[in-house]
Amino acid sequence: MKREHDSITSVMMEERVFAPSVQFSKGAHVSGTKQLASITSRAAKDPVTFWERQASALSWFAPWKTAMKWKYPHVQWFVGGRLNASYNCLDRHIISWRRTKAALIWEGEDGTVRTFTYQQLHTEVCKCANALVSLGIQQGDVVGIYMGMVPEAVISMLACSRIGATHNVVFGGFSSDAVAERMNDSKAVALITQDVAQRRGEHVHLKLAVNEALKSCPTIKNVIVCKRSDEPTKMKAGRDHWFHDLINAASHVSTAASLPSEHPLFILYTSGSTGKPKGILHTTGGYLTQVAYTARMVFDLKDDDVYFCTADIGWITGHSYIVYGPLANGATLLMYEGAPNWPEPDRFWRLIEKHRVSIFYTAPTAIRAFMKWGESWPRKHDLTSLRLLGTVGEPINPEAWMWYYNVIGQMRCPIVDTWWQTETGSIMISPLPGASKTKPGTATRPLPGILADVVRRDGTPCAANEGGLLVIKHPWPAMLRTIYGDDERYLNSYWKEFPKKRNHPGWYFTGDGARKDESGNIWIIGRVDDVVNVSGHRLGTAEIESALVSHRHVAEAAVVARPDEIKGNALVAFVTLKSNVNADLQNLREELRNHVGKEIGHIAKPDEIRFTDALPKTRSGKIMRRLLRELVTRGDVTGDTTTLEDRGVLERLRVADEE
Ligand code: PRX
């Protein structure tokens, strides 16, 4: 009998190969496949020594005594060592020529630009740290941050880490309920917010949501409010304080706390497919070591780069690759406040042209939106400053990869497709841009020091191109330490699939299905929860979606299964068309089915195709297939929809279903 997850049939085959130009390779931190292979094989033999070498690139107040302590399933890195993340991101740069270098260039949605040199950012962070101390916030306290994309969000995070408070950032698009749940679960003592955040020319009333949330958050004693508008704001005496009043009264002298390597740096909540959100706990030394190393290597960061990551600070990408990784390297960041299509769909391209951005890191969902809006928007702008492109968050379908490569990178920029998770803290599988040969749709291979593999359910390695489960076989420095307040859930979520046994060390299960091709490239098939079984074949929905999106009329697609008496499962595809399509929908349905048949095989042909103007997504842009699955199986959605970006989408899909 075939067991669940035993084997996932992978149907996507991609043959196009792209190598970096000689010129790019020559100037890169790691040049050529040979150099990368030799670093990787040495690191694989002794990952702990490899990571020790990377940790030495940080500034430590006291050296570690033990590089790694592993007591399944808990790890500690650089034990005995002391350091401070804020010090590593700021203080060590201001004693060098970087003191006057731009650390953060911020552009508001209204076009206002604010630039902070490393010295200026340091001063703001020190004042903010002192302001927190003046409110009685201490080492070990949890501080919530619920803000939009403003410099004060970065300043607040670094101020927390400076004094040893653990930050808990909640994405500014979440509701008051989500804030309350996350503050209560983490027992936060204070919350930093804004009166309003600016989004698509409108005000999002964060402080009002906070007022609502705090009706049920007894642990929060102080609220710090950053002013972003002239709107009057109700402040509660004794509890609410204006950010700038506190900062202006605070001294700019602050010594960064000397913290143990395993001091909790932050908690970040991520939604599981069921149940309440998980508070992913990251600590200081290991996390900073790996994000600093990967930011430098994967983005090939140089001192003259202008680096633009479009993620929100409320996601792990914002934590690791807006704040800690780039700043630990003394990089120049561009941070943008608003929406990509405000006031028009060329805002990112306008930003790149204006600030001469050289490295651009975004998500496949955004790339598909750019494709939908059409290439006339990027074509209007000078994008010649770009030298490297990155993507993260979901499998990138080859069609979107090629568009990104041709239209945005103008066939000049390597693309780093970076696979990682909130839990991994840091990029794990990715090309190194001066060394790797890339293929559209694969994150290529594990980075040096990362032992990732694709295995069957019984733990045996999959054959080349056989779909299986993606596991990490050796602890890595930026690994989550636990789920805050629920260690049992930590064990059950990540270690149950391949537990420690006699003769087996226990492996971390990522929850992703993947296959490894004959050259060792890893292709993510998607979450195993999103795998469908059709006539006895387990197929990754990502691959069918990718086939649909390769049709010239399709902008985006999501495929789910509903039970079918004959086939076990029938496939239902939700399809969004490109803006300019004017086709007969009935004919197009048939054309799309045949297209999938041609690309993958008749087994993967959707039984039903539903056209929709939008798909239900999380705030970070992930398609919520769980909701679509409910819709097609039960005709309604009853599960948790709190992380859904636009509830109207479900309503429209329901109506379409009834028609
Ligand atoms: O399924 C994988 C997908 O996103 C999941 C992690 O989501 P999250 O914790 O929200 O973190 C996203 C930002 C790091 C993974 O388990 N994923 C992420 N990056 C990729 C990806 N799938 C394919 N290719 C990627 N590059």
Contacts of 272 (CB under 8 A, 6+ apart): 278, 493
CB atoms within 10 A of CB 654: 14
CA of 53 to the centre of ligand 1 (A): 27
Q: What is the mean pLDDT of residues 99-127?
A: 98
Give domain status of residue 584, yes or no.
Answer: yes
**The domain that contains 582 carries what CATH number?**
3.30.300.30
Q: Which of 415, 426, 524, 625 to mutate to test the pocket of ligand 1 (most atoms within 8 A of CB)?
A: 524
- Whether residue 67 has pLDDT greater than 60: yes
Least confident of 137-141, 195-199, 526-530, 550-554: 526-530
- Whether residue 1 has pLDDT greater than 60: no
Give domain status of residue 577, yes or no.
Answer: yes
Q: Is 395 in the pocket of ligand 1 (CB under 6 A)?
A: yes
CA of 323 to the centre of ligand 1 (A): 19
Phi (first) and psi of residue 15, to 5 degrees: -110, -15
Tell me how far apart the alpha carbons of residues 278 and 271 are, in angstroms, rounded to a whole number.
Answer: 6
Under DSSP, the state recorded for 623 is B
Number of domains in the chain: 1
Amino acid at 437: K
pLDDT in tens, 268-310: 998 755 557 899 999 999 999 999 999 999 999 999 999 999 9
Place of tokens 């190393």: 293
pLDDT in tens, 441-472: 999 999 999 999 999 999 999 999 999 999 99
Give domain status of residue 559, yes or no.
Answer: yes
Give domain status of residue 592, yes or no.
Answer: yes
Give domain status of residue 246, yes or no.
Answer: no
Three-class SS of 298-335: HCCCCCCCEEEECCCCCCHHHHHHHHHHHHHCCCEEEE
DSSP per position, 174-191: S-HHHHHHHHHHHT-SEE
pLDDT in tens, 604-626: 889 999 999 889 988 778 888 88
Q: What is the mean pLDDT of residues 634-645?
A: 73
Contacts of 289 (CB under 8 A, 6+ apart): 51, 54, 55, 57, 58, 77, 78, 477, 478
pLDDT in tens, 17-53: 999 999 999 999 999 999 999 999 999 999 999 999 9
Tell me how far apart the alpha carbons of residues 371 and 380 are, in angstroms, rounded to a whole number.
Answer: 15
Contacts of 3 (CB under 8 A, 6+ apart): 457
Give domain status of residue 277, yes or no.
Answer: no
Give domain status of residue 596, yes or no.
Answer: yes
**Range(s) of the domain holding residue 634:** 535-658
Tell me how far apart the alpha carbons of residues 453 and 445 are, in angstroms, rounded to a whole number.
Answer: 10
Q: Give yes or no for a contact between 619 and 270, defined as CB atoms under 8 angstroms apart.
A: no
Give domain status of residue 648, yes or no.
Answer: yes
Q: Which atom of ligand 1 is nearest to the CA of 427?
A: 14
- Whether residue 8 has pLDDT greater than 90: no
How many CA atoms lie within 13 Å of 603's alpha carbon, on the beta-carbon side? 17
pTM exceeding 0.85 = yes
Q: Give yes or no for a contact between 84 and 76, defined as CB atoms under 8 angstroms apart.
A: no
Q: Given pLDDT bands bounded at 50, 70 and 90, which one contains residue 9?
A: low
- Whether residue 3 has pLDDT greater than 50: no
CA of 422 to the centre of ligand 1 (A): 8
Tell me how far apart the alpha carbons of residues 260 and 158 are, in angstroms, rounded to a whole number.
Answer: 17
DSSP per position, 556-573: EEEEEEEEETTTEEEEEE
